[in-house]
Chains A and B, each alone.
Chain A
Amino acid sequence: MVSFAVVLLLLGGALYASRFSEGRPQVVYSFSLEEAAREAREEPLVVDINTADAEELEELPEVGPATAEAIIEYRLANGPFRTVEELEEVPGIGPATLEQIRPFATV
């Protein structure tokens, strides 16, 4: 009986150590690894600020509904943006916000 108890203890310990202990990696979010690899290698989303609608403009960092409307109003009033930097003329977009937007915007 003691022998069987020792065997069960060792097997139980091995099961815990190999699968449940803190030192073992556990999946938190299950997804296709190949899909994630492709996603990570894809180019980041880039928004054309001259043709994007409000919903697309809201994809830009630090741009909410009000800022998206302001961009569209500026575009209607002044014509297409010549450079991404011209976004700084839009009310609500300062130098810091422009730095956040720059990698994801194009003209």
Chain B
Amino acid sequence: MLLDLWPAAVVAGIALGTAAPAAVPAALLGALVVSAGAALRRDLVPPPWRLMALLAPLFVACGAGVALLHASAPDPLAQLAALEPEGVVVEGRISSPPEAAGFGDRAELRVESLRYGGREVLGGGAVELFAPGLGLLGVGDRVRAEGDLYVPEPSPDFDYARYLATRRVSAVMEAESVRPAGEGRGWVGEVHRRTDRALGYGLRPEEAAVVRGMVLGDRSLIPEPLEEAFRRSGITHILAISGQHVAVLTAAVYFVLRAMAAPAPARVAGTLATVWLYIVVAGAPPSAIRAGVAASLFLLGALLGRPVSALHLVWCMLALVLTANPLLLYNAGFQLSVAAVLGILLLRRPLEDLLRLSPLRPPRAVSTLLSVSLAAQLATAPIVAASFGEVSLVGVATNLVAVPLSGPVLVLGLLASLAGNVLPALAYPLNYANGALVSVLEALAESASSLPGAAISVPDLTPALVALLYAGFLPAALCGGMFARERGPLWAAALLSWAAVWVVFARLASG
């Protein structure tokens, strides 16, 4: 009996319960109809899937229940902030790398105690803190801030309060001053400061900023024009901590431990400990948490001798991550991460089959690389367009160079950070090698972004247009399942045509 669809049913329940609660009764009713049909007529559902059909309402209801539990949870910090109180005193720990902002600096602050009107009224939760002088502090530093609280109003283009909620931040605090409290410095901030020092040995500031972004996920020092060039050339994802970073680190640590002849349980434990330590130091972005959970499930499944289906693993990861925080559905970084993975898993094979039939007949390694890049670009294009108002047309080509380079840049950056803290002289050769690679990446981004038509603007994209593009991907995604694999090249060609038409249509629709 196959129950592989249970996490997909849970995720569907969570998604509907979070984004469209009114549709939950209809979804439950549909699941009950399927279940009743499977119970009453044995030939209605293929026998291996009968148990899944019978239990479908249970899993959909579970997902809806998870969404309801989260939606009904009170947020006293947001309630207090809605009154826009002044003179609030907050003590807590910095939980994200401080970045320069219009009003001083910005960082997330995990609240340990909040005093108002002379009394401690709240504990726990988090605020987005704007204050001068935060740049001198680091992640984990304990501070005391006094200022005003408020909940930001949504703008037509962007709901900032909801974005903060996806990161479990309830309100914004503007403070005139922040000072260290208690024992002060945190170990994560110390790691960031030591990494900054180590990356300074032999790297120019611009290249050090790029490596810092790829190693620590902190892009605040990357010059705006360079960041724009990376975005227009479709390779901005390599500047952020993503699933690829976690995958590279997981593979590197695992194979080092295997080369050291560590037993399998020690290999898995060591790899997972290193990966999660890295995720914490990098500020735990949603995309890294997703990849960390997926890596954990994969390694533990392999250790237990359970056969691992990549698609099933992705759905299990989604069910777990969204159970902890359903609002991640609204986080663009999380959406991109999930879309890229699902795109590669579902679209790579038909695209590769199409490339192998082409007159060029590229070598297998090239066709695999090209199909992975194309699948990821296609799957993320609608989300990039909806979030940033533009689509990169050169991303498929630039990613062929950027993605293979980003792995060595990350590994060299991590090694230089470690070596530089032991002895600065050890960091220089590593940073010199890394500087050459980063220079190639910068040249690639700047030259590709300056090409005419490198990126086209598609502002004001509606959810209906996004759904329209994904609907056209379905036949290719279902090849090997519902449709015969031999039809893959045909559906892949249809997919590419559909994507091209959609780009033109979206451009015209957005004026």
Contact = CB atoms under 8 A, between A and B. Distances in A.
A binds B: yes
Interface of A: 3-4, 6-7, 10-11, 13-15, 17-19, 22-29, 31, 33-34, 36-37, 39-41
Interface of B: 3, 6, 10, 55, 58-59, 62, 65-66, 69-70, 72-73, 75-80, 83, 85-87, 110-111, 113, 116-117, 119-126, 168, 170, 319, 323-325
Q: Is the interface of B mostly helix, strand, loop or mixed?
A: mixed
B122 A25 contact: yes
A32 B444 CA distance: 59
Contacts of B73: 18-19, 24
Contact of A33 (B75, B83, B324): B83
Residue in A10, A23, A26, A29 with the greatest tally of chain B CB atoms within 10 Å: A10
Contacts of A13: 323-324
Nearest to B59: A7
Contacts of B10: 10
- For the complex of A and B, 9 pairs with smallest distance between CB atoms: A25-B125, A25-B77, A18-B73, A14-B66, A7-B62, A18-B70, A14-B69, A25-B124, A29-B121
Contacts, number: 95
Q: Is the interface of A mostly helix, strand, loop or mixed?
A: helix
Contacts of B3: 3
B215 to A, nearest CB: 25
Nearest to B324: A17
A14 B68 CA distance: 9
Nearest to B70: A18
Contacts of B55: 3
B117 to A, nearest CB: 5
Given A33-B80, A36-B85, A40-B117, A23 B124 contact: yes
Contacts of A36: 85, 116-117, 121
Contacts of A41: 86
Contacts of A40: 85-87, 116-117
21 contacts: A3-B6, A3-B59, A7-B58, A10-B10, A10-B66, A14-B324, A18-B70, A19-B69, A24-B124, A25-B124, A26-B76, A27-B76, A27-B122, A28-B113, A29-B120, A29-B121, A31-B117, A34-B83, A36-B116, A36-B117, A37-B83
